[in-house]
Amino acid sequence: MEYIHDKRFTQIGRDEIMYTDFEGCEFAGCDLSRCDYTGTAFIDCRFIDCNFAGAKINYVAFRDVSFFNCDFSDVNFAMVDKLLFIISMTGCNLDRAKFYTLKLPKTVFTDCSFVATDFMAADLTDVIFDNCDLHKAVFIDTIANKTDFLSSRNFTIDPERNRLKRAIFSESGLRGLLAKYDLVIK
C-alpha cells in the first residue's frame, strides 16, 4: 500500500490509484471513469472537474472529500468504505448513481443533478440538497429526517414510505409529496 500526500494531479493512471492512500491531495481534470479503485483511500482531498462515470468504488474510503463539477453518473456508492464517510459535492452529476443503504448524515449537495438516482433505504438525516434536480430519484424506506429539500426540484417522495420528520420543503415542493394522490393543486 502506497501513501501519497499534499500532491496535485492533473492526470493519473488507473494503476497509480489502486491500493493507494491519498491525503491532502487535489485532483483536477482527471478521467477516472470506468476504473476499479478497490482499496483506495482519499483523506482530506479535493476533486475538480473529474470524471468518475461508471467507476467501481467498492471499499474506497472518502474521508472529508470535496467534489466540484465532477461526473458520477452510474456510480454505485453503496459499497464504499462506510467508516468516517464524509463528502460534499458542488455542481456534480450523480444521475443514476446508487446510495442504497448508505449513511450520509449532514452531507451538503449544491447544484447537483440526481436524475433517477437510488436513495432506497439510505440515511439522509440533516442532508442539504441545495438547488438540486431530483427528477425520478427513488426514495423508498429512506430516512430523511431534518433533510433540507427547500430549494430542490422535481422530486417525488411518498411520506408513507419514508421518514420525513422535520424535513424542510418549499410550498411549491409540496407537490412532490402529494403526487401519489393525483390531486389537482392550483
**What per-residue confidence (pLDDT) applies to 11?**
82
Residue 149 has pLDDT above 90, yes or no: yes
Residue from 171, 160, 96, 94 nearest 127 by CA: 94
Does the domain spanning 1-92 belong to CATH 3.30.70.3040? no
The pLDDT tens digits of the residues spanning 167-185 come to 999 988 888 888 887 877 7
At 53, is the pLDDT very low, low, confident or very high (cuts 50, 70, 90)?
very high
20 versus 44: which is more confidently predicted?
44
**What per-residue confidence (pLDDT) applies to 101?**
96
| DSSP codes, the chain | -EEEES-EES---HHHHTTEEEES-EEES-B-TT-B-TT-EEES-EEES-B-TT-B-TT-EEEEEEEES-B-TT-BGGGSEEEEEEEEEES-B-TT-B-TT-B-TT-EEES-B-TT-B-TT-B-TT-EEES-B-TT-B-SS-B-TT-B-TT-BS----TTTSB-TT-B--TTTHHHHHGGGT----
CA angle 50, 90, 130 (to 5 degrees): 155
* Interval 52-68 mean pLDDT: 95
Q: Is 175 helix (H, G, I), strand (E, B) or coil?
A: helix
Whether the CB-CB separation of 13 and 33 falls below 8 Å is answered with: no
The pLDDT tens digits of the residues spanning 25-36 come to 999 999 999 888
**What per-residue confidence (pLDDT) applies to 67?**
99
Cite the residue boundaries of each domain of the chain with CATH code 2.160.20.80. 1-92, 94-186
**What per-residue confidence (pLDDT) applies to 13?**
64
Residue 120 has pLDDT above 90, yes or no: yes
Residue 19 has pLDDT above 90, yes or no: no
Could you say which DSSP state residue 37 is in? -
CATH value of 94-186 in 3.40.50.150, 2.160.20.80, 1.20.120.450, 2.40.50.100: 2.160.20.80
